[in-house]
Amino acid sequence: MGQRAWPVLLAAAATIFLVLGADLAPFLNLLIHLLIPFPAAWAHMVGGALSGGAAIGMSTALLAFAGGFGEAGGYLLHFGLGSFCLPFLLRKGWPWDRAVAVTLVAVTLAAGLFFAGYQLRGAGGLVEKQVASQLEEAKQIAAEAALSSQQQAELEKMLEWMASFVRRTYPALTVVANGLMFLFVLLLLNWSPGGAGKIGGAAFRDWAVTPWLIWALIGGGFGSFFGNGVVVTLSLNLLVVVLPIYYLQGLAIISFFFWKKQVAPWLRFVGYLLAALLNPLPLLVTSMGVFDMWIGFRTPKIKKEE
């Protein structure tokens, strides 16, 4: 009993620390949000579904006591469901990519139902209020910068465009953010004691998306350029979801070449960091993922003898 209890207690304590720490350290907000689902998911991987469910239940109860039912409900919807589904499917022997995809679909459907109910209650405009608040904050920061009036006008115009884009593609951006979070949790589970060796599926360096996904990319591109109204909005949302998947495949290609050339771990880290942050490398990595189905970057090339 004690062996099962300690992962649950440790996971609940870590979850509370992370959730409350996000309010105390806003500059670490992104990293903390990526970490929040991990403790309960790890308890699940170590002790099974009962331990995982107990860790989530205890975390929810403690958050309801410390921060109110809104805080607890937000954790359960955004983090709790995924931190149960992902390790549950992994322990069942599902390949890691399918486990992440199904978990993402489950969390997206739950969030969609919640927001639909929120709208029906007449409490709509949640996204609009959030975007407007962030836009106003960005404008205030820009106003304090030492910019000329022309530069200030151009910056405000760009901020307005970004706000409009976020409003139109908010559902897809949420899906991508959740997908990134679950991939990060998967990586931590693979490295953690009790999780290593329990994750099935292809090695990341060999991973590739289904060739049929290219039609979603083509459809999203055509709809964005030649459609209007709701067609453009749907197409943009489709592109926002599909392009990061091809970026991930591009990273898998880079990982293959790192493995093939036996590149040192610290150089790999630098390479991945540049591929994520240095413009225009993210675009090039995404292009590698798109054209891999025709070029076959990881397919051995056989030289013809003259």
Please report, in tens digits, the pLDDT of each residue of the chain (306 residues total). Answer: 455 688 899 999 999 989 887 777 666 788 889 999 999 999 999 989 999 999 999 999 998 888 778 888 889 988 999 999 999 999 999 999 999 999 999 999 998 888 777 666 655 566 777 777 777 777 777 677 667 777 777 877 888 888 888 888 988 999 999 999 999 999 999 998 877 777 988 899 999 999 999 999 999 999 998 888 889 999 999 999 999 999 999 999 999 999 999 999 999 999 999 999 888 899 999 999 999 989 888 886 555 444
Residue 105 lies in a domain: no
Residue 239 lies in a domain: yes
Q: For residue 286, what are its two tokens? A: 């995404």
Which ranges in the chain belong to alpha helices (H)? Answer: 2-24, 29-35, 38-47, 49-67, 69-75, 81-91, 96-120, 126-144, 149-191, 213-226, 230-260, 265-277, 281-295
Residue 44 lies in a domain: no
Domain count within the chain: 1
Q: For residue 302, what are its two tokens? A: 């056989």
Distance CA 42, CA 8 (A): 9
Residue 232 lies in a domain: yes
Residue 200 CB: number of other CB atoms within 10 A? 15
Residue 211 lies in a domain: yes
Residue 151 lies in a domain: no
The domain in which residue 270 lies consists of 202-298
Residue 236 lies in a domain: yes
Residue 261 lies in a domain: yes
